Amino acid sequence: MFDETLFQDSRAGVPFVDILKKQGILPGIKVDTGLQPIDGTDGETATQGLDGLAERCQKYYQQGARFAKWRAVLRVDNEVLPSSTAILENAHGLARYAQICQANGLVPIVEPEVTLGEGDYSIERTAYISEKVNSHVFRLLNEYNVILEGILLKPNMILPGLDVPTPAPEEVARYTVRTMLRSVPGAVPGMVLQFKNPSVSVQPNALRISEFHV
């Protein structure tokens, strides 16, 4: 949900949050304020929104929100992207966001997205970068004393560049699960996988991922 939606009422004057709760749905809120270019990089971005976040989280919790979402976007290519600067900048933002959310009663959804884009980089390259990004994110989450049992992770599926033929669902599942097992601590209670590539069948991947999970 966006900020304005959380505070809206129905035509009958019933708060939207109350309508959701009656349906057994816990409301969540997007708390980042978008992407900002990082100076000195090749068009890479860092997610903004830490200023005033504690006060906003208090307000969101009072309104009925129980979880929050913050998305970091990291571009990948064959050689240099993402840069160490972009990885560290976004890992810091995710960790501080999670710390602030937990301090104010919200469950943070941590979303370090290694974004799918043009290029002929391999699925192995995406897996390597995703492991590297996750490792930095969880290092900083630990440094900021974030309770890992109190977060959810929203990772990307492991896919090659858009100029590479679409891999078989079994290969996508194998690389995705391997990446998570290598770089996500067992204390994390749950993950919400992103299915953003229309050329990859969601249902077969979901089934295959459950088969590979150990």
Annotated catalytic residues are 111, 154
Residues 6+ apart with CB under 8 A from 93: 46, 47, 48, 49, 50, 70, 72
Interatomic CA distance for residues 106 and 100, integer angstroms = 9
Handedness of CA 37, 38, 39, 42 (dihedral sign): negative
Interatomic CA distance for residues 89 and 137, integer angstroms = 10
Residues 6+ apart with CB under 8 A from 11: none
Interatomic CA distance for residues 165 and 124, integer angstroms = 14
What is the SS3 assignment for 130-193? Answer: HHHHHHHHHHHHHHCCCCHHHCEECCECCCCCCCCCCCCHHHHHHHHHHHHHHHCCCCCCCECC
Q: Are strands 45-48 and 34-37 parallel, antiparallel or unpaired?
A: antiparallel
Please provide residue 98's backbone torsions phi and psi, each rounded to the nearest 5 degrees. Answer: -65, -40
